[in-house]
Structure formats: C-alpha cells, structure tokens
C-alpha cells in the first residue's frame, strides 16, 4: 500500500487535530483511499522538534496538554524547532504547514513552504499568509518541482469552497463572490446580540480555538482581507495586494448596536467581497454590514461561514459550512492530502522524486 510520510510544522490546534484524525481515521483511510499516513517529524516554536524516521507514536503526544508539550528529552527530540533542517533534510513526502498567519508579509510560513517545495516535497497548508501574499511564486515553484501546493483550509476551514469553485463550476462565468469569511467575528457578533461585550465574546472564541494567535486580525478584518485576496485569485483570476482590498473590522460595534439592529430585523455581519467591474478590474472590500433577514448571508450563525458566488447562468449559488475550528480545519489538510494522492496518481508520477530516489537507494 502507498504511504505518505508527513512533517508537521506548527503543533497547535490544527496540526494536533490532523494528528488526531490520523490516529482515529488512519485505518479507514487506508481501506477507503488506499494509502497510509505516518508522521515522521513535528516542529513547534514552543515544543521544539521531534523526528523519528520510522514514524512518531502520536498517542502519547496527544495525551499531553498542549501547554505542557515539550519535545526536549524525548528520543529524536530537541528544544529547538529546527524548521529549516526538518523541512529540507528529514525524509518526508508532504509538509503540513500550520504555524500562525502573519497578515503583513506571511513569514515565516512563506519560507517554510518555499523550503519544502524547493526540496521536492508536497505542501498542504491552512495558513493564509503564504497563499494570499506569495501564492503566485509558490505555485510556480511547486510546478517547477513537480509537486503540489494545496491550501483548501485557507478559506472557510474544512468547508470545500475552493475545490467547489474550481471543480464544480465548469462552464459558468463567476462575476463576483461575497461571504462571511471569518468564524471568530461571526461568532462574536452572535454573542454581542446575546448581550455579551466584545472582550468576553472574544475570549469565548479564543477558548473554542476559532481565533488567530493575535485576534486583532479577526476583529479588524485583516484575516478576511487575506481570504478575499485568495478568492479573487482562485475564482476571478485577479491578483490583488492588501492595499487593493479596503478593510474595516467589527471592533467598533457594541452589543447595544447589534441588539438594536436585531430588533429591526437587521443582522450585523462582517462581509468580504470581490466583484468584477464592467472594465474588468475587481472591486474588493471587507466591511461590517447590517443585512436584512432575507439576505443569503444574514442567517449564518456562530462560527459558520458562507460564500455566495454570482454566476451568469445559475444566479447566486451559496455554499456554507464551518469557518473555523481545530478538527474542522484539520479536515481541510486531510482533504488536501487526498487531493495530492489523487493528482499524483492520475498523472502517474506517484511519490515525489526525492522519495522515489530514497526508495531506489534503499532497495
Ligand atoms: N483554528 C482555525 O479555526 C483555523 C486556523 N487556520 C490557520 O491555521 C494555522 C494554524 O492555526 P491554529 O492551529 O489554530 O493556531 P495555533 O496558534 O493553535 O497553533 C500554531 C502553532 O504554531 C506554532 N508556531 C508559531 N510560529 C512557529 C514557527 N516559526 N515555527 C514552528 N512553530 C511555530 C505555535 O507555537 C503554535 O503551537 C494558522 O495560520 C491559522 O490562521 C485556518 C483556518 C481555520
Ligand atoms: N481565525 C480564523 C480562522 C480561520 O481562518 C477565523 O475565525 O475564521
């Protein structure tokens, strides 16, 4: 049976979630999809690095509280994350990048992805930074090295928005997209409507694993700005910079305003949109809007997200599902791994070249 060896970069909520899915669903996946998964390396800024070329036993790691996780002292472990060495030199097939999203320049995740692709390794990531801010360069690098760069979880977590648009909308012209693209802010707006203040509602979203390491990006719209850039590129073929996407977040909204609006049948939502203008350029923005109850985005609750695609033949097609959450987002990485498996099987190229070489040397 085919096997993919994984290196996990960042071991917070999402990559721990992927490890959980591998432990819980590994046998089913092997049976259903015909491939096995094994984690051979993990790095994390706080925990350090852990390498075992024969496969790391994930069960004791998952039994350890995240804040108490330290790889120093374990066999193959070190207090130093050693990201570059692990990515470039530990034999693995797929690098799963899930460190924090840096909305300014995407680093250090852009470098993590670049090192992996240059080393002939496939990459899956939920990190919006590399996709929004260096997507073109990284896609070209992946093509040059004959490997995949997959990022379904960078928009709307495990809900397959990007693959739906790419695989199921053939023959349609998409003129624009608008959506609720941030689980944290949507959850917070719901809790403001319940009477909580911003600070308490944000703390709840953090507790539930929805928020960014620095929730400013959720509150001020920067996270949605990156997602609008990704959607504009993937769906409309428009390469936008952050400056092209006007951005206003929800931090100025109070519980009283949200409740007053609700009493008039209006629902405050943080909406991200990208629409093609008549001259072919794209108008892109992020702003809170008080939507009437009949609007397709008005009833999206909690950490759910939704994207409404404006199409020429079908009119508006709306897809909704979880927009944040550890396991939901880990599923996006799993769906990326399945896509990598399918693509490289369809092309007949199988495992990446470096792995074929290693196996030839072993035989
Ligand atoms: N949690 C969610 O619902 C979603 C998260 N994402 C994205 O997925 C990524 C991971 O999210 P979470 O796991 O929730 O975040 P997290 O904050 O729980 O975990 C990130 C981990 O990366 C580690 N880290 C930070 N910098 C590092 C570095 N330079 N080298 C090695 N490790 C480093 C941190 O120590 C932490 O353990 C983020 O980019 C986030 O924006 C995307 C969709 C949904
Ligand atoms: N913090 C983000 C996580 C997913 O991208 C959100 O709440 O949507």
**C-alpha–C-alpha distance, residues 40 and 55, integer Å:** 5
From the CB of 324, is ligand 2 less than 6 Å away? yes
pLDDT per residue as tens digits for the range 186-241: 999 999 999 999 999 999 999 999 999 999 999 999 999 999 999 999 999 999 99
ipTM of the complex as predicted: 0.99
From the CB of 43, is ligand 1 less than 6 Å away? yes
From the CB of 223, is ligand 2 less than 6 Å away? yes
Residue 227 CB burial class (10 angstroms; 0-12, 13-18, ≥19)? buried
Kindly give the number of the ligand 2 atom that is closest to the alpha carbon of 210: 7
Ligand 1 atom 6: residue of nearest CA:
126
Which pLDDT belongs to residue 362?
Answer: 44
Kindly give the number of the ligand 2 atom that is closest to the alpha carbon of 185: 7
Instruction: Give 278 Cα–ligand 1 centroid separation in angstroms.
Output: 39
> Which ligand is nearest to the Cα of residue 205, counting in written order?
2
Q: Any known ligand binding at 212?
A: yes
Which pLDDT belongs to residue 359?
Answer: 47
Instruction: Give 329 Cα–ligand 2 centroid separation in angstroms.
Output: 9
Instruction: Give 350 Cα–ligand 2 centroid separation in angstroms.
Output: 33
From the CB of 192, is ligand 1 less than 6 Å away? no
Which pLDDT belongs to residue 352?
Answer: 53
Q: Any known ligand binding at 128?
A: yes
pLDDT per residue as tens digits for the range 54-64: 999 999 999 99
Ligand 1 atom 23: residue of nearest CA:
10
Residues of the chain with pLDDT under 50: 353-354, 356-363
> Which ligand is nearest to the Cα of residue 323, counting in written order?
2
**C-alpha–C-alpha distance, residues 130 and 142, integer Å:** 13
Which pLDDT belongs to residue 348?
Answer: 64
The domains of the chain, with CATH numbers, are 2-157+326-362 (3.40.50.720), 161-322 (3.30.360.10)
> Which ligand is nearest to the Cα of residue 326, counting in written order?
1
Instruction: Give 147 Cα–ligand 1 centroid separation in angstroms.
Output: 23
**C-alpha–C-alpha distance, residues 196 and 327, integer Å:** 26
Which pLDDT belongs to residue 112?
Answer: 98
Question: Backbone phi, then psi, for 296, in 5-degree steps?
Answer: -60, -20
From the CB of 186, is ligand 2 less than 6 Å away? no
Which pLDDT belongs to residue 345?
Answer: 80
Sheet holding 2-9, edge to edge: 77-78, 48-51, 35-44, 2-9, 94-97, 122-125, 149-150
Q: pTM for the complete prediction?
A: 0.95
**C-alpha–C-alpha distance, residues 3 and 236, integer Å:** 36
Judge contact between 243 and 133, C-beta under 8 A: no
Coil vs helix vs strand at 161: helix
121 annotated active-site: no
Set 121, 139, 227, 275: catalytic member: 227
Coil vs helix vs strand at 347: coil
């Amino acid at each position: 049976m085919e096997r993919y060896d994984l290196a996990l970069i960042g071991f917070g909520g999402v990559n721990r979630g992927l490890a959980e899915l591998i432990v819980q669903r590994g046998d089913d996946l092997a049976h259903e999809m015909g491939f096995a998964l094994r984690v051979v390396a993990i790095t994390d800024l706080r925990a350090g690095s852990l390498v075992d070329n024969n496969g790391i036993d994930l069960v004791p790691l998952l039994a350890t509280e995240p804040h108490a996780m330290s790889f120093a002292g374990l066999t193959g472990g070190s207090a130093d994350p050693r990201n570059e060495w692990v990515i470039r030199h530990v034999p693995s097939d797929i690098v799963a990048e899930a460190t924090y999203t840096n909305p300014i320049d995407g680093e250090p995740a852009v470098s993590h992805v670049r090192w992996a692709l240059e080393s002939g390794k496939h990459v899956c990531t939920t990190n919006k930074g590399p996709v929004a801010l260096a997507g073109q360069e990284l896609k070209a690098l992946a093509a040059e090295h004959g490997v995949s760069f997959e990022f379904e979880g960078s928009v709307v977590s495990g809900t397959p928005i990007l693959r739906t648009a790419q695989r199921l909308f053939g023959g349609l012209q998409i003129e624009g997209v608008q959506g609720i693209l941030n689980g944290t802010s949507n959850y917070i707006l719901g809790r403001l409507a319940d009477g909580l203040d911003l600070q308490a509602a944000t703390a709840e979203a953090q507790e539930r694993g929805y928020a960014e390491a620095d929730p400013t990006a959720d509150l001020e719209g920067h996270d949605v700005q990156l997602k609008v850039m990704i959607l504009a590129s993937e769906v409309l073929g428009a390469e936008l910079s952050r400056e092209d996407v006007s951005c206003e977040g929800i931090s100025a909204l109070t519980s009283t305003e949200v409740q007053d609006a609700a009493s008039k049948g209006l629902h405050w939502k943080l909406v991200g949109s990208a629409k093609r203008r008549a001259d072919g350029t794209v108008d892109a923005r992020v702003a809170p809007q008080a939507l009437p109850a009949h609007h397709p985005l008005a009833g999206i609750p909690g950490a759910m997200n939704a994207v409404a695609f404006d199409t020429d033949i079908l009119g508006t097609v709306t897809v909704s599902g979880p927009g944040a959450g550890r396991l939901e987002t880990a599923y996006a990485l799993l769906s990326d791994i399945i896509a990598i498996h399918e693509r490289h099987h369809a092309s007949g190229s199988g495992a990446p070249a470096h792995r074929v070489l290693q196996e030839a040397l072993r035989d």
